[in-house]
Structure 1
Amino acid sequence: MRILKTAALLTAAAFLAGQAAALPSRSEGQVDFWVDGAAFAGPDGKTWQELYWSFSPNQLKARDSLGQRTAAFRTVITLADSAGKQRLGEDWRTTAPMPDSALAAQRSMVQLDQLAVSDLEPGRYRLSVGIYDLVSGSQGLVEAEVEVPSFSGRTPAVSQVELASDIAADSTTSRFRKGGLTVRPHPERVFGDATNNRLFYYAEAYKVEKAHSIRVAFSSFKDPTLRVVDTRVLSGQSGAVVQYGGMVLDEMENGYYRLWIQALDAGGGVLASSQANFKVERDILERLPQYRRIMEEQAVLEKEAGEYYSKIDLIANQAELAAYARLSQAGRREFLRQFWRKRDPSPDTPENEALREHVNRYRQADAEFREQARAGSETDRGKAYIKHGPPDEVEKRLLEAETKDVLVWKYNSGQVLMFWDRLGVGRFEMVYDKHNPQRSDPRFQRLLNQ
């Protein structure tokens, strides 16, 4: 982790307030909830303003109807400009099933929601968010001044930073989706036990060039030194870019922090910057033995698997690989620990059988499938062996009008793979994958029926 020095120590009040002092904001009244927001570039020079809020439904009074417990509440949101013109006005009622009181007390239930206004003029707005319990009559209210920034200038800019409890690749439609990502905001901005010891971030940079880079760093109230989490050089990219990722908080003490996302020029100078404050809060007494156990588990797994421990690109799914790519070094270590733990068929035994099998497949692939100067694990057959394991049946067949053998690998699962030494030089290319038509040459489908 690289360390950079900042100019001066901030006062506690200034640190907690940040650039946009209004958000996040906690409600007043009997219903306790949080409201947060983030602004991004919108169409035609306008600003896209998102608003997020969350609360625990356990606060609401449930009523019994025909043997079912339900809670009913009303949500009212308004946003008005400095002249009093209303730009957002929403009012709706929600009825939700509730578990019985004993189970509800055990669960940490959270109601999370989000709205966006896509075409705001930059300036100051008055925000009001109210949640009203329709059974008990209790209520909570947030009233705040929101400064909507402009991103329409000619120089590089960075959007406001959205802090989230999770970011994942997702093709489904939801109000939390941005592009191909689902970003679940965390309006309270308190991370630790409540977020599985993780923090995620999302931001956008505008009018950046190929020679520029994006830096992610954090500082604390106690120490204003910038600690670099990630630096990404924008080779081949320009205009508007997305920056997202995650942090594992294991090595961070309880306290207040600030996350920085900065656009840098080719020499490392700051062109634009945005920041978001957050708090790390964990039960230290419970965390210390757990932390030691995690560190010990990571060390054992890394020693057991050696160089193969982090080679997961052939067996992880696209969402896992995307998440892994955005993590810091410490985050990747924790990701890999959980990745292999999740795949362990016998988690109560000292050995992780899935990891052992992964290592054996890599070694076997290198031993059996080497092709000229290419390591066996880098060939098509080697990669297939690592991903699918040894075939249950191997056949050799001839394609019509060809003299070179086609290797057919069959698996009891129904998977069929074919490899062909097209040039006759001992280099076998994968030409058919039953479960992946995009990698399949249709000519080889006929061999299955011979």
Structure 2
Amino acid sequence: MFDYNGEIPVRKTFILVLFVSLSLFAQKKPLFDLDYARFAGDDTSGIIEVYYSFYQNAFHSVTIDSRSVIRGAIGIFLEDISTSQPYFKREYNFASPVFDSVKNNLTGVLRFRLKFGEYKFAFAVKDLEMEDRVDTAKFNIKITDPGKTKFGLSDIEVATKIEKSDNDSSTFFKNTFEVVPNVSTVFGENLPVVFYYIELYNLNKEDDPEFLILERVLTNDRNEEVSRKRRYIPRKNSSIVEANTVNISKLPTGTYNLTLALFDSLSNEIAMSTKKIFVFNSNVVDTVAAKYSDNEFLSSEFAIMSEEEIEEAYSQAKYIASKVEEKQWDEMKTLDQKRNYLFTFWRNRDSEPSTAVNEFKREYYRRIDYANQAYSAFQRKGWQTDRGRVHIVYGRPSEINRFPSQLDTKPYEVWNYDDIEGGVEFVFGDISGFGDYKLLHSTKRGELRDDNWPTRIKTL
């Protein structure tokens, strides 16, 4: 009945065009939307969930027993690429009454447990009342072994609703939650909150820090940060579920990336998962886009920086970059991309965007200048040293206690910050004897902690 080798409709592009002119493209609306997410399985396999939603008003309806009904045929095809053998193939017909609300579009989920490998998936739908009305989508999907030695993340599933439930007979039930997928990934006026579901794996490892950090970042299509939230994840369970929300009711229409990053601040190990979503808020004006034009970038200092200058500028900015931003920088290939990245990086941190001066950036570079004057050591600029970094990130300490060299100890300093986390300290030691003080210990969460630091400054 179906040709599974047909071309893939560009669905998401169509949705954005639809915002511009509903009437122009009304006749080209697809019969369905499709999305998927991958989750951990066992030692040899993973799980893929394929979400589908039929647009009931895209079908030609007929009247049966005084009710409007749509009738269609579905074809599902799954092939193991390594063997070119079908793994799953099924075709069947369906009939459904037409609901009054588009919110009642027919939504479902297909679950497959697949051995690690690469697969070809195809999904086809035919309107049985219009034989030439066929819609097909296909994609390749990899199921990989997440391993057991490092923590990891599943894909992100976005949803129209997530709530606690004990109804394990529901199509959308998993891990004590009812998760109703938003297959179109479109949010906005009718769906002002993005619900998302993600699974975290391999958390409780011996000899690892007590906590990991889970950071959620939302960026727009200009790679500008819209919102950020982080929380600490205890490592007492092997795997946990994160089900949460993002309010997008005040965001302008456009494309956004929702990123979840799980990382260990000491080892710099990181796992990331990103989901593209679409927002349609016709009454929200993009004031940021109106304020910052291409001319704004071209007149900035970043537009004319050389490769060497841009690399140093990023190295200085990296002290306050998130793990997500570090990952984004690593993916930059060209000098122009890096220039735009740094322009956006500092624009996102402009504490007073209504003024001509970026006060946050100006204060940051004042701290760099001070670090260069006060903490340069051993042919290194002050901003490159441990004391310089701490001064740049946290500012001037509340108190500095300096301890010169003694018969049994090397020189060291203790910096106290009374206004951070109820009071924290940083201990620096001149281990080499050349005036290059290294960070030995800190009580600041996320910094190096070594309660045995006194043994490192002993001379005997």
Whole-angstrom distance in 1 between the partners of 2:11 and 2:190:
20
Q: Given the alignment, which residue of 158, 165, 174 partners 1:163? A: 158
Name the structure 2 match of 1:199.
194
The 8 Å contact of residues 25 and 144 in structure 1, kept in 2 or not, is answered as no
**CA apart distance, 1:56:** 1.3
Q: Name the residue aligned to 1:273.
A: 272
Q: Secondary structure at the match of 1:58?
A: helix
Gap regions ≥5 residues in structure 2: 1-9, 16-26, 205-209, 288-460
Cα distance change on mapping 1:269 and 1:219 into 2, 3 Å: farther
DSSP-derived class of the 1:222 partner: coil
Residues 149 and 189 of structure 1, relative CA distance in 2, 3 Å threshold:
farther
Structure 1: segments with no counterpart, 5+ residues? 1-21, 289-450
1:361-380 residue pairs with structure 2 within 5 A? none
User: 1:61 Cα deviation (Å)?
Assistant: 1.6
User: 1:142 Cα shift?
Assistant: 0.6
The AA in structure 2 aligned to 1:227 is: S
CA–CA separation in structure 2 for the residues paired with 1:31 and 1:271: 38
Q: Does 1:188 align with 2:187?
A: no
CA distance in 2, matches of 1:39, 1:23: 20
In 2 relative to 1, CA 45–262 (structure 1 residues): closer, same or farther, beyond 3 Å?
Answer: farther
- Which residue number corresponds to residue 258 of structure 2? 259
**Matched residue type, 2:275:** A
Counterpart of 2:125 (choices 109, 131, 137) is: 131
Change (3 A) 1:189 1:40: same
CA contact (8 A) 1:29 1:139 kept: no
2:140 maps to 145
**2:399 maps to what in 1?**
none
* Pair 228,189 (structure 1): closer, same or farther in 2 beyond 3 Å: same
Q: In the alignment, which residue of structure 2 is the partner of 1:39? A: 38
CA RMSD of aligned residues (A): 3.0
TM-score, normalised to structure 1, is 0.53
Tell me the amino acid that sits aligned with residue 263 of structure 1: L
Indicate the percent of aligned positions where both proteins have the same amino acid: 19
- Does the Cα contact within 8 Å between 2:252 and 2:285 map onto a contact in 1? no
1:43 alignment partner, SS class: coil
Aligned-partner SS, 1:175: coil
1:70 corresponds to which residue?
69
Summarize the Cα distance change of 1:225–1:75 in structure 2 as closer, same or farther, 3 Å threshold: same
3-state DSSP of counterpart to 1:269: coil
Distance 2:28 2:118 in 1: 25
> Take 2:249 and 2:272, find their aligned partners in 1: how far apart are those partners?
26
Native 8 Å contact 1:151 1:159 kept in 2? no
Distance in 1, matches of 2:252 and 2:155, equals 25
Separation in 2, partners of 1:203, 1:95: 33
Check if 1:88 corresponds to 2:88.
yes
Change in Cα spacing, 1:269 to 1:251, as seen in structure 2 (3 Å) is: farther
Tell me the number of residue pairs that the alignment of Structure 1 and Structure 2 aligns: 259
**Matching residue's letter, 1:202:** Y
* Matching of residue 154 in structure 1 with residue 158 in structure 2: no
| Residue type at the aligned position of 2:136 | L
4+ long deviations beyond 6 Å: 22-30, 285-288
Matches within 5 A, 1:25-424: 31-82=30-81, 83-98=83-98, 104=100, 107-118=102-113, 120-137=114-131, 138-172=133-167, 173-195=169-191, 197-209=192-204, 210-225=210-225, 227-229=227-229, 231-235=230-234, 237-267=236-266, 269-284=268-283
Q: Is the 8 A contact 1:29 1:141 kept in 2?
A: no
Instruction: Provide the rounded CA distance (Å) in 2 between the counterparts of 1:148 and 1:262.
Output: 20
Distance in 1, Cα, partners of 2:256 & 2:285: 22
Once residues 30 and 228 of structure 1 are traced to their aligned partners in structure 2, the CA distance between those partners, rounded to angstroms, is: 35
TM-score, normalization by structure 2: 0.51
C-alpha contact (below 8 Å) 1:62/1:69 kept by paired residues: yes
Matches of 1:202 and 1:90, distance apart in 2: 29
1:158 to partner: Cα distance: 0.9
Residues 109 and 241 (structure 1), Cα distance of their counterparts in 2 relative to 1, 3 Å cut: closer
1:25 to partner: Cα distance: 9.4
CA distance in 2, matches of 1:164, 1:23: 18
Q: Which has the higher contact order (CA 8 A, sep 6+)?
A: 1
